[in-house]
Structure 1
Amino acid sequence: MGTCMSTVCNCLSGNDYDSESRSGNQEYQPLLADRERQAVASLVKLFENDTRISFYEGEPLKALTVLAHSDIHHLQLSAATAFSEVSEYDVRPVTREALEPMIYLLQSAYPDVQHGASAALGNLASVKENKRLIVEMGGVTHLVHQMLSPNTDAQINSVGCITNLAADEENKVAIAKSGALIPLTRLARSKDLRVQRNATGALLNMTHRADLRHMLMEAGSVAVLVELLETADDDTRYYAITALSNIAVDSSGRNLLWITQPSLITILLQVLRKPKIKLQSQIVLTLRNLASDERYQTAIVAQGGLEALLPLLTSSYTLLVMSAAACLRNLSIHPDSEAPIVRAGFLPELLDLVLQMDEPEVQCHVVSTLRNLAANSGSDKQNLVDAGLFDQIRAALEDKRLQPKVRCELTAALSVFALNEQLWRPIVEQGFCKLLVRLMRCSHLETEYNACLAIGTLVGKNLAEVYEELMRLWKQPGGGLRAQLVQALALPEYAGTGVRSVAMWVVMAFLNSGRNDLKKRIACDSQLVAAVEDIANAYALSTGGTSGSSWAFLPTMFGGKGKSAECDERPPSTSTMSSSDSTALDDSSHDSEIQRTQSLALQILSLVKEVSGN
């Protein structure tokens, strides 16, 4: 506070308000001068009694407001300096009355006054309540004007204040509409490192909304952000990488990057190979978002992305491992990526990570990657078996520490493995059917669905060894497959239509198996038949009749590969990954799904009647 007191004292003892010009009526000058002199005297007296004064209320605020509204340079500077200095140590929610003189000082003709005012507002803008109040009071317009100043200090503080204001969700649109994006983009190219860093941080904060990302693209910010990937300052580079990661969340952003930034992947991989964990994590997340696009999936693999990712899976830094696993998950979607992933030596690392019980997010990404590799048709899957795929999955499913979302991913993977001619047999021969039957009743509906789906896929193969294994598990353990089917069929409509559909399909497959023992086991089970009748009766009551549609296989459940891309929009302070994308029924039309389930019920009853009559 010493600088502020010295400035105020100089104003009091000097002749500035006699020597400097004033605007307005000459008659009014003595009154104004008296008010200003009284304000300075009041402040000096307050300083003598207490050097740590709050200027946010009471007499100090009134005095500084008078100085702020003066047209004398030194008085304005006194007010700006006081606000700037006190905001260094006293940051808290303040009133409109406290902010008004600071915002007014932004309009001063003197750069040093603007500098002090924007510094004070920048400090106070770290408080949520102040952020919104500054914007409501029109502070953004004056800050944008100050950004256009050739004075570097004014640029630093005004852009820093905008950066803090843009951290609040409600302020982002107001800032974008104020015309700030083009000046921010220009200042991100500043030769002054502090200006460049603040401007890039502000652009980053504006990328957390889809509509604003589009505005940034129109403002030409994307090209500048890519340029900044090669800056020497790690903070600026991190902000630029994160902003590009967020832009890559949208297909429009990825398309613009693909068309206008052909060197992007090369630059990202160059930075990725440098041992800077913070940058590496964010680059991998950017690659992960880009890899939601098929063109980038191919380009990243072709330009050596797999070789750069592999060592990251063994990093001691959890976020880096998670990011690398998430990126690989998206890359594995492309059928041409399977062979390079296997050749690069990923399988041992991926299978080790399946058992990382303390990192469920990593497990989910890894299991999804393995599922994607299995879903690619036309290639030899024996390498997955030989690498120990099923041993690791069994160990994970039997571990009591396993998180529900990982269990869900594992059962989704098994449902995809069951489709493959090389992978279904280990499921049957290594006792996975017993695990799947148990998981059909696990209080997690999606896991129940996936387990039931895997069983249904196996039944659909119409193979003797499958039927023998499932009949062995018909009543054991814990009521066996029969009890789980009865429970699935009894699920209420709102809770388990998808599970009921698959259970219905399993029952239908048994009745169509061509084996009389299996047919009669279903047809003679009064509880199973009653559960099917309840569904059929509910349909008849709701529609006033019966369905005339015919039963068919459910290709959306059993013909799909269960592969999808995943994007992650990450503010700097967030490390949340997106949720599971496990295989699921395409139930875009809830009503049509119910009709399909209930139509199956009617046809099952028809088959039961046919079997019972023979």
Structure 2
Amino acid sequence: MASGFCKNCSRLLRDFAAYLRRVCRELGQKIRDFFRELCQCTCLRNTPDRSFLRKMTSIHLMYDHETQLLNQESLQALNRLAASENPDLQMTAAVCYLHLSHHLTSPLPEAFMEPVMALLFSSDLDVQKTISLSLVNLLVKNNVCKEMVIEMGILVPILELFQSGDPTAQCHSCACVAMLASSESNRDAIMVDGIIPLLVLAKSYDPLVQQNATWALLYLTQSDWSTRILCQAGAIPVLVLLLQSSDSEVQFYSCTALCNIAAVREHHPKFLSIGGHYLLKSLLTLMSSSVQKNSAQACRCLQTLSKNGLIQEQQMELDCVLPLKALLKTSTPAWTESALTLLSALSGHPPNNEILVNEGLLDVMGQLLHHHRSSSVVITHISKIITNLSSSCMGQQAVMESQCLSGLLRALVSPALSDETLLHVTSCLHHLMTWDPLKSKLSETVTSEQVSRLVKLSAQTHNLQLSYNCAAIISKLEMTGEITQLLRPHYITMSEYLLVFLKNKDVKFQHLGIVTIFNLKKDGEFSALLANSELEVQLWKVHAQTEETRRLLLMIQPISPSSLNP
């Protein structure tokens, strides 16, 4: 599965990096003051690390001359400081790495990771917290290779920090694990000893620890194998509980992780085993969140879960339509799209349709069509919903009383819609025209611009199904005086695409061509145009082929169905 960052994680990382820059600017000044005073002390004049300390007093030059710092002499000094049993000297090295992690613009040489390992094993917790924060920053900026960190065994001391009991240390170590887990090849190593501690820290009372632990768990749901291990370890109840967190980021991470897990059907029984519809109630509550991304993600999670019939029934029992309708009334596109995605899935289950129609959903769809004419996602889902709900007499009557037909026709002429979206729109219109009252209403309301659009799309050849849908709509128009006047300017174009249809080897195109010609011949002007034309010649060819096929079939003794199943 993909290991790249989503839009939200990218934003979070940028915010985190900005925070580190602010902290490190202040820290940088303190470091310079510290080394300035330290180097003036006589007790350091004979210390082997004095040259290194003097170099650190000008560390602010590192941003422009980082290669001058990343040399063998500096590496030896850092190794000596890190290996020292003096916590103050260890902290000196850790602070240098922190400042380095802020300013470094190129990859950190692998040799410079050895002191990091030693500092993570320090007996001083402050040293561990400082160096782990440095490592987070280096990972965020991709200054170190995530796979190399795992290969060096640095994961071991990072996971040990989980047991430190210090929220800051736990926060930093969870962030490190989250960054390492963003690389798919690292997840196996993390799964061995990291799952249970992460699940424990995800229930921490410290919001930042909880946030970073949940962030790491989210990355572990991005591959099937790690997701399976997570579920076996009891991750689903923990993630469901986190939906109720007061932290919006924790809500988002847990909801996204649950959405990833729900995509695999084998985990659905675990969702169903959570009593009292707690999961669905939590998601429905989150769906009404004022935080847009959380509301949208809750909708996506419910939509993924709705593929399970039992879970979908539970959603309907909990009256999920009401909050969905509320989302549809907002002016936020993401909320509208998420709600429609879920409603599209619910309407695809016939037992739900009567409830959805009674809730006035078709009336809402008609209104949305008149306000979101340029949104392909919105138009696509609305078309699916109308098609699904108009399969009953009650739904067809509701379409008649709503703005659905006029909205679909308006969408038809929108220049912003893709062929894929138009395919859904025309499929829906074609479906509606199988019902006589709706066919009559459409014939009464269609405009010249809409007829021109249908003819143009019927004549295009790059999308045959779209061409078929549009031609099928035209074939069902009632040849009233108004429709005749609208079609006459297009008779030549229509004759051209009808000729193509009749020559098509696909029988459904031939049949559609014949039906359309039969309907258009009700107008004497088209009949005159048809006479002695290439279209008429092709029509007789199809007739002759059909007759020949019928004659050949009559030569075969019909086989009794009972003889096929003795």
**Shift in CA distance, 422/216, structure 1 to aligned 2, threshold 3 Å:** farther
1:122 has 2:128 as partner: no
Aligned to 1:344: 359
- The partner residue of 1:607 within 530, 536, 547 is 547
Cα displacement (A) at 1:125: 0.6
1:372 has 2:385 as partner: no
Q: Which amino acid aligns with 1:212?
A: S
d(CA) in 2 for partners of 1:129, 1:90:
7
Residues 260-307 of structure 1 deviation map (CA, whole Å, 9 limit, x = unaligned): 353111122233344343432222222222223332332222212111
d(CA) in 2 for partners of 1:214, 1:524:
70
Cα displacement (A) at 1:77: 2.8
**Structure 2 residues not aligned, in runs of 5+:** 1-27, 552-566
Cα displacement (A) at 1:396: 1.7
Q: Which amino acid aligns with 1:97?
A: A
Aligned to 2:456: 438
Q: Which amino acid aligns with 1:308?
A: P
Aligned to 1:477: 490
1:268 has 2:283 as partner: yes
Cα displacement (A) at 1:325: 1.6
| Matching of residues 402-413 of structure 1 within 5 Å | 402-413=417-428
How many percent identity over aligned positions?
23
Contact 1:229 1:267 in 2 (8 A): yes
Aligned to 1:303: 318
Contact 1:325 1:366 in 2 (8 A): yes
Contact 1:418 1:424 in 2 (8 A): yes
d(CA) in 1 for partners of 2:40, 2:332:
59
Aligned to 1:238: 252
Aligned to 1:63: 77
1:167 has 2:182 as partner: yes
**Shift in CA distance, 145/451, structure 1 to aligned 2, threshold 3 Å:** same
- The partner residue of 1:192 within 206, 229, 238 is 206
Contact 2:240 2:254 in 1 (8 A): yes
| Matching of residues 561-576 of structure 1 within 5 Å | none
**Shift in CA distance, 208/443, structure 1 to aligned 2, threshold 3 Å:** farther
Cα displacement (A) at 1:206: 2.4
**Shift in CA distance, 290/464, structure 1 to aligned 2, threshold 3 Å:** closer
Aligned to 1:583: none
| Matching of residues 16-27 of structure 1 within 5 Å | none
Contact 1:437 1:452 in 2 (8 A): no
Normalising by structure 2, we get a TM-score of: 0.76
d(CA) in 1 for partners of 2:212, 2:287:
23
Cα displacement (A) at 1:509: 6.7
d(CA) in 2 for partners of 1:143, 1:188:
16
**Shift in CA distance, 528/121, structure 1 to aligned 2, threshold 3 Å:** farther
Contact 1:449 1:502 in 2 (8 A): no
d(CA) in 1 for partners of 2:157, 2:537:
75
- The partner residue of 1:313 within 328, 343, 350 is 328
Cα displacement (A) at 1:144: 2.6
Cα displacement (A) at 1:224: 0.4
Aligned to 2:55: 46
| Matching of residues 376-395 of structure 1 within 5 Å | 376-377=391-392, 379-395=394-410
d(CA) in 2 for partners of 1:501, 1:209:
45
Contact 1:7 1:78 in 2 (8 A): no
Normalising by structure 1, we get a TM-score of: 0.70
**Shift in CA distance, 174/608, structure 1 to aligned 2, threshold 3 Å:** same
Residues 469-499 of structure 1 deviation map (CA, whole Å, 9 limit, x = unaligned): 99999996163444224435768xxxxx9xx
**Structure 1 residues not aligned, in runs of 5+:** 17-33, 492-496, 534-600
Aligned to 1:548: none
Aligned to 1:502: 508
Cα displacement (A) at 1:129: 5.6
| Matching of residues 24-173 of structure 1 within 5 Å | 37-38=47-48, 40-53=49-62, 54=66, 57-58=70-71, 59-90=73-104, 92-128=106-142, 130-132=144-146, 133-168=148-183, 170-171=184-185, 173=187
Aligned to 1:416: 431
Q: Which amino acid aligns with 1:307?
A: L
d(CA) in 2 for partners of 1:608, 1:411:
35
d(CA) in 1 for partners of 2:406, 2:477:
24
Aligned to 2:18: none
Cα displacement (A) at 1:402: 3.7
d(CA) in 2 for partners of 1:2, 1:209:
44
Residues 416-445 of structure 1 deviation map (CA, whole Å, 9 limit, x = unaligned): 324446544445565587754432234551
| Matching of residues 406-555 of structure 1 within 5 Å | 406-420=421-435, 423-427=438-442, 430-431=445-446, 436-442=454-460, 444-445=462-463, 448-453=464-469, 455=471, 477=490, 479-487=492-500, 500=506, 502-506=508-512
- The structure, 1 or 2, with the larger RCO (C-alpha pairs under 8 Å, 6+ apart) is 1
Contact 2:132 2:173 in 1 (8 A): yes
Aligned residue for 1:125, secondary structure, equals helix
Q: Which amino acid aligns with 2:496?
A: A
Contact 2:502 2:513 in 1 (8 A): no
Residues 6-32 of structure 1 deviation map (CA, whole Å, 9 limit, x = unaligned): 48987997999xxxxxxxxxxxxxxxx
**Shift in CA distance, 263/409, structure 1 to aligned 2, threshold 3 Å:** same
Cα displacement (A) at 1:101: 2.0
Q: Which amino acid aligns with 2:134?
A: A
Q: Which amino acid aligns with 2:119?
A: L
Cα displacement (A) at 1:109: 3.9
d(CA) in 2 for partners of 1:75, 1:232:
41
Aligned residue for 2:246, secondary structure, equals coil
Aligned residue for 1:232, secondary structure, equals coil
1:363 has 2:379 as partner: yes
Contact 1:272 1:308 in 2 (8 A): yes
Cα displacement (A) at 1:122: 0.5
**Shift in CA distance, 219/609, structure 1 to aligned 2, threshold 3 Å:** closer
**Shift in CA distance, 12/242, structure 1 to aligned 2, threshold 3 Å:** farther
1:203 has 2:217 as partner: yes
Contact 1:201 1:239 in 2 (8 A): yes
Contact 2:39 2:54 in 1 (8 A): no
CA RMSD of aligned residues (A): 4.3
d(CA) in 1 for partners of 2:143, 2:57:
32
d(CA) in 2 for partners of 1:479, 1:523:
13
Residues 537-557 of structure 1 deviation map (CA, whole Å, 9 limit, x = unaligned): xxxxxxxxxxxxxxxxxxxxx
d(CA) in 2 for partners of 1:151, 1:299:
42
Contact 1:437 1:480 in 2 (8 A): yes
Aligned residue for 1:350, secondary structure, equals helix
Cα displacement (A) at 1:127: 2.5
d(CA) in 1 for partners of 2:253, 2:481:
59
Contact 1:433 1:469 in 2 (8 A): no
Aligned to 2:557: none
d(CA) in 2 for partners of 1:501, 1:98:
72
Aligned residue for 2:263, secondary structure, equals coil
